[in-house]
Amino acid sequence: MKKRALILSFLLLPLFIFNAHAASSNMDGALKKKAKRATDNGLRFLREQQAEDGSWSGSVGITALALRAFLQSRRHYNEDDGPFITRPVQFLLSHVKEDGSITESINNRNYNTAVAITALQATGNPKYKKVIENGQKFLKGLQLTEKSGYQRDHKYYGGIGYGGDERPDLSNAYMAIEALKETSVDKKDPVWEKALLFVSRSQNNSETNDLDWAKNDGGFAYMPGYSPHGDAVSYGSMSHAGLISLLFAGVDRNDPRVQTVYKWIQDNYTLDSNPGAKHNQGLFYYYNAFAKSMKAYGENEITDSKGVKHNWRNDLTSKLLSLQGKDGSWVNQDSPRWWEGNKNLVTAWSVIALNHVIQ
């Protein structure tokens, strides 16, 4: 009898763990079903838009993001599912350069390589280990340090830019940090500490930012002392990118940098706009970063500065459902800036965001 009970307990254990995980998100059940359907429709749109060479928009970056949307979806697509997965993988591999970068042009080399190695990692295929390692080396090589003539007191030290001579910025740093995190770079690697110095100097927090430009609202600017939306204003997409960067680089939740940006997010909680940004520029970038940062932070609810509690998963799902087109796609109707007029890119971002919500 005891043996039978023990066997039964082992059989029920996976179900208990699954139910406990499902309950932990405290997400509305009906919304979750709609979110699942929305991801299926978004992936269907992407599959219909895929070129014969496996790419989306002929871009390494967009192809990598779309591929990640498929691989990390609730359907758990993989290379065994056929050409719609294997062809984009081969498209990425066909653009691997000798320096380790993965890109179709000299522009956006950091973005493209970062999202490409993240997608290749998501395949789970050990064949791409060397390509991923070379991509990691390329990304780390872009970091501005003593090797590139920068000293620790320079505001750009530890930063990463597009991959040319451009100034580093938090968006590029966040993309690289996420890629290095997703591809399991050693936590003791000096790339993390140096990146954190740049990230911290992009935050409007004079207590932890040693540069004199910083204000004290806790949010993040695009780069130290500058934002495209005026002065060094903090805004939503960069504040969530900053929070992700801090957490992925190993900063504790109780660290004042994390707590002050979380306070900014509470004070500016909304999904109706990219708070602080002009004309809703970067709106879907914001939604994507919002989903990742909230999941990484680990709370199911966020209490805004007025004391109102929000289930962020429900809120984000409702907003994305309201913006999805009949063909399953998403696009920024307010501003095409930063490629947000490209349905393939915006749909990939939206599906990835929903993948973080429902899993």
pLDDT average per 10 residues of sequence, the chain (359 residues): 42 42 71 98 98 98 98 98 98 98 94 98 98 98 95 97 86 98 97 98 97 95 93 95 98 98 98 95 98 97 96 98 98 91 98 96
Report the pLDDT value the prediction gives residue 107, as an integer from 0 to 100: 86
Q: Which pLDDT score, from 0 to 100, does residue 166 have?
A: 75
Ramachandran angles phi, psi of 56, nearest 5°: -120, 125
Q: Which helix (H) or strand (E) holds 302?
A: strand 301-303
How is residue 216 written in tokens? 């004290």
List residues bridging with 221 in a β-sheet. none
Q: pTM for the full model? A: 0.92
Q: Which pLDDT belongs to residue 120?
A: 98
Burial-class residue 186 by CB neighbours within 10 Å (0-12, 13-18, 19+): exposed
Q: Is 163 left (phi over 0), alpha (psi -120 to 50) or beta?
A: left
Print burial letters for 155-180: b (CB count within 10 Å at least 16), e (below 16).
bbbbbbbbbeeeebbbbbbbbbbbbb
- Check residue 165 and give its pLDDT: 66
Tokens 């709370």 found at: 299
Q: What residues form DSSP beta bridges with 203?
A: 220
pLDDT at 3: 44
